[in-house]
């Protein structure tokens, strides 16, 4: 009986803090369902993806209304993410979880280093925005597809959101922190839909769990962007950027040493 109260409350916290502020959430869902509620991993993975769909849909709309979505990078990443999600789902039975954890952790740590290098470079050339190299613009599009592909593969393999590479990629592509969060939610919506449809043939789903989690997460994802809009944007950017960086480092370290 306790889970009828606990799941919506946990969902609200995840929707508000992780999805609205962090741009991710799938890994948290899987961890909560398996560790705290003893849900089998196969059911937890599919349930996570199913819960992510309405949550990220609401989050995307709220962030778009708040002006936090970069449609160019978002839609480009979404294409790569959808392809990666299908590929990852089809290969999910062939890769040992321990090896997957190590590879995921290594990728996230390497991306965090690239994020740091990109941030330092951006600081050095701050104010030099007179000309945008067309070749650099095309290269950024290719990078966006690759980051989306990587996030999709991670999502498809074990039902995670794939938010790590998406967030890291957007920051490497010089998106502002709020723009990174809003755009990543859009990309994760597309990845979740594709991954869920593909995973339906692989894992079962507990619709009661989905309903209980969704009630809370949708409310949290809806409220979050409107709260962000009322906070001083410059101060929030200064705080949010290092928080996102630390989040990627933490996720990578946890996967590496799991």
Tens digits of residue pLDDT in 103-140:
767 777 877 787 777 777 766 665 554 455 566 778 88
pLDDT at 38: 74
Does the pLDDT value for residue 219 go beyond 70? yes
Does the pLDDT value for residue 73 go beyond 90? yes
Q: Residue by residue, what is the 3-state secondary structure of 6-74?
A: HHHHHHHHHHHHHHHHHCCCHHHHHHHHHHCCCCCHHHHHHHHHHHHHHHHHHHHHHHHHCCCCCHHHH
Does the pLDDT value for residue 100 go beyond 70? no
Average pLDDT, the chain: 76
58-90 as b/e: b if 16+ CB within 10 A: bbbbbbbebebbbeebbbbbbbbbbbbbbbbbe
Confidence of residue 204 (pLDDT cuts 50, 70, 90): low
Does the pLDDT value for residue 70 go beyond 90? yes
- Count of C-beta atoms within a 10 Å radius of residue 93: 8
pLDDT at 233: 64
> How far apart are the C-alpha atoms of 43 and 131, rounded to whole Å?
50
pLDDT at 129: 46
Q: Is 89 helix (H, G, I), strand (E, B) or coil?
A: helix
The verdict on pTM exceeding 0.85 is no
Give the residue among 33, 31, 43 at the shortest CA–CA distance from 3.
33
């Amino acid at each position: 009986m306790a889970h009828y109260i606990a799941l919506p409350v946990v969902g609200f916290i995840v929707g508000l803090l992780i999805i609205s502020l962090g741009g991710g959430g799938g890994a948290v869902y899987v961890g909560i369902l398996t560790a705290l509620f003893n849900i089998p991993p196969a059911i937890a993975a599919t349930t996570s993806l199913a819960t992510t769909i309405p949550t990220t849909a609401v989050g995307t709309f709220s962030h778009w209304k708040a002006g936090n979505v970069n449609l160019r990078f978002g839609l480009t990443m979404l294409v790569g993410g959808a392809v990666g999600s299908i590929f990852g789902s089809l290969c999910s039975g062939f890769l040992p979880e321990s090896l997957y954890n190590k590879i995921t952790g290594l990728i996230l740590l390497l991306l965090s280093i690239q994020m740091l290098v990109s941030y330092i470079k951006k600081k050095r050339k701050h104010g030099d925005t007179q000309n945008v190299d067309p070749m650099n613009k095309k290269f950024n599009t290719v990078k966006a597809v690759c980051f989306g592909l990587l996030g999709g593969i991670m999502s498809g393999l074990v039902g995670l959101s794939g938010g790590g590479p998406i967030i890291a990629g957007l920051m490497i592509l010089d998106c502002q922190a709020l723009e990174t969060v809003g755009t990543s939610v859009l990309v994760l919506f597309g990845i979740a839909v594709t991954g869920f449809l593909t995973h339906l043939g692989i894992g079962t789903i507990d619709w009661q769990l989905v309903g209980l989690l969704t009630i809370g997460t949708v409310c949290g994802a809806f409220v979050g962007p409107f709260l962000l809009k009322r906070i001083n944007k410059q101060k929030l950017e200064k705080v949010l950027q290092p928080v996102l960086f630390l989040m990627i480092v933490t996720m990578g370290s946890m996967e590496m040493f799991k």
